[in-house]
Amino acid sequence: MARLQLRNVEKTYGNGFKAVHGINLDIHDGEFMVFVGPSGCAKSTTLRMIAGLETITGGEIHIGEKIVNDLAPGKRGLAMVFQNYALYPHMKVKNNLGFGLRLKRKPKEEIAAATDDVSGILEIGELLERLPKELSGGQAQRVAVGRALIKSPEVFLFDEPLSNLDAKLRASMRVRITDLHMELREMGRPATVAYVTHDQVEAMTMGDRICVMKEGHIMQVADPVTLYEKPANAFVAGFIGMPEMNLVDGTLEAGEEAKLTIGNQTISGGPTLAARLTRQSGPVKIGIRPQHLNFVPIGTENAFNGKVTVIEFMGHEINLHIDIEGHSFICVIPSEEYDRSIKRGDAVAVTPLVERLHVFDLESGLNVSLGGEDA
């Protein structure tokens, strides 16, 4: 068991490019931490520095009680699963599984027992005599996890382990890995996990906590519910949630009425919003999730008026695209609540759910509607 700490960790590559800008993070003992962010934000770089596959050019990494900056990868007590699985192609599954232990010169009986144990947990017993090329993507993925698990590492590192699988398999492997983490916990062998993905669904469903990254900076670290309900900034707000949060430029008039203006239309957030605001009047970004816009009859007070541009039928819900003052909004409505007479080009009115809307500072991007408690 081990906790993992990053202290002002920096990475400048040999060509002078600074990929990681002094990040700080504590991953608790037994915690499942997901690193998520767009391609190029330095998720892999961070993970590879933890693994020891990449040098650290500033700061410290602690695993358990040790500073591991200069410790060889094999001595860090961790195991890594890569996107391409990196199985040895000429070795049978059982030899791929046992390879790490053979390197450590463990006795044959011990390796056999560990192989049994792991193949039982991952249900890959019937694959032991096969070569990697005789495995499906999902099976190869399980073997790759098995090869990590067999080392009984204190820390598991995963770098986009599901990216090469089709959508259906990805969904089932996602559940499997989360389940495995729980099982190990219940078996009294809890593992600390650092899991990299660019997929927000994986991040939201798998992580005890999620570390959202952008361009080598940490934007927010929080549990999934907090991330969704209280995004610290406009970047996290736009990154987490589907469809994306509507984020439009507008103006805030602070005070009791807490007025928000988009183009020529103004609504009042009233005391509900006023109580949460932590800044003065001025230009802001207004954030409203597509699920938090309600259709109201035209002429209703405190509504934004717009025109329907696109209607997407998704099955259980409808994505309605609405143009409001030249800004494109998406509005999600459950199919059974949808008025089927609405057509493209129709004038409509929507009111945001005031208790769930967000206001962001235009320059810093910081959420200024968290009531001070989380700001």
Using DSSP, state whether 88 is helix, strand or coil: coil
Segment 162-191, which members bind Mg ion (CB under 5 A)? none
SS3 content of the chain, % helix, strand, coil (to 5): 30, 35, 35
DSSP state of 125: G
Query: In the complex, which residue's CB is closest to Mg ion?
Result: 44
| Residues in Cβ contact with 348 at an 8 Å cutoff, skipping those fewer than 6 apart | 295, 298, 305, 306, 307, 308, 320, 322, 342
Contact 68, 52 (CB under 8 A): yes
Q: Which residues pair with 348 in a beta bridge?
A: 306
Kindly state the smallest distance separating residue 173's Cβ from ligand ADP, in Å: 20
Nearer residue to ligand ADP within complex by CB, 17 or 70: 17
Kindly state the smallest distance separating residue 187's Cβ from ligand ADP, in Å: 31
| Residues in Cβ contact with 107 at an 8 Å cutoff, skipping those fewer than 6 apart | none
Kindly state the smallest distance separating residue 136's Cβ from ligand ADP, in Å: 26
Q: Which residues pair with 155 in a beta bridge?
A: 78, 192
Q: Does 45 bind Mg ion (CB under 5 A)?
A: no
42 binds, among ligand ADP, Mg ion, none (CB under 5 to 8 A by kind): ligand ADP
Write out the residues near ligand ADP by the rule CB under 6 A. Answer: 13, 15, 17, 19, 37, 39-45
39 binds, among Mg ion, ligand ADP, none (CB under 5 to 8 A by kind): ligand ADP
Q: Supply angle C-alpha 263, 248, 363, rounded to 5.
A: 105
Nearer residue to Mg ion within complex by CB, 44 or 220: 44
Number of H helices, E strands in the chain: 9, 20
- Residue 201: closest CA among 177, 169, 224, 220: 224
Kindly state the smallest distance separating residue 320's Cβ from ligand ADP, in Å: 33
Give the gyration radius of the chain's Cα atoms.
25
Kindly state the smallest distance separating residue 39's Cβ from Mg ion, in Å: 7
Nearer residue to ligand ADP within complex by CB, 57 or 305: 57
Nearer residue to ligand ADP within complex by CB, 48 or 170: 48
Measured distance CA(374)–CA(107) in Å, rounded: 53
320 binds, among Mg ion, ligand ADP, none (CB under 5 to 8 A by kind): none
Q: Does 200 bind Mg ion (CB under 5 A)?
A: no
Using CB under 5 A as the binding criterion, the count of chain residues that bind Mg ion stands at 1
Q: Does 44 bind Mg ion (CB under 5 A)?
A: yes
Q: Tally Cβ neighbours within 10 Å of residue 280.
A: 10
Using DSSP, state whether 35 is helix, strand or coil: strand
220 binds, among ligand ADP, Mg ion, none (CB under 5 to 8 A by kind): none
Q: What angle separates helix 93-103 from helix 137-149, to the nearest 10 degrees?
A: 20
Q: Please identify, among the stretches 16-24, 42-50, 212-220, 306-314, the one whose residues bind Mg ion according to the rule CB under 5 A.
A: 42-50
Measured distance CA(314)–CA(312) in Å, rounded: 6
Nearer residue to ligand ADP within complex by CB, 61 or 114: 61
Q: Please identify, among the stretches 11-19, 36-44, 238-246, 247-255, the one whose residues bind Mg ion according to the rule CB under 5 A.
A: 36-44
Kindly state the smallest distance separating residue 158's Cβ from ligand ADP, in Å: 12
Query: Across 265-346, where does the E strand assignment appear?
Result: 265-268, 282-288, 293-296, 304-313, 317-324, 327-334
Nearer residue to Mg ion within complex by CB, 48 or 181: 48
Kindly state the smallest distance separating residue 81's Cβ from ligand ADP, in Å: 15
Nearer residue to Mg ion within complex by CB, 44 or 119: 44
Kindly state the smallest distance separating residue 46's Cβ from ligand ADP, in Å: 7
Q: Which residues pair with 110 in a beta bridge?
A: none
Interacting residue ranges for Mg ion, rule: CB under 5 A: 44
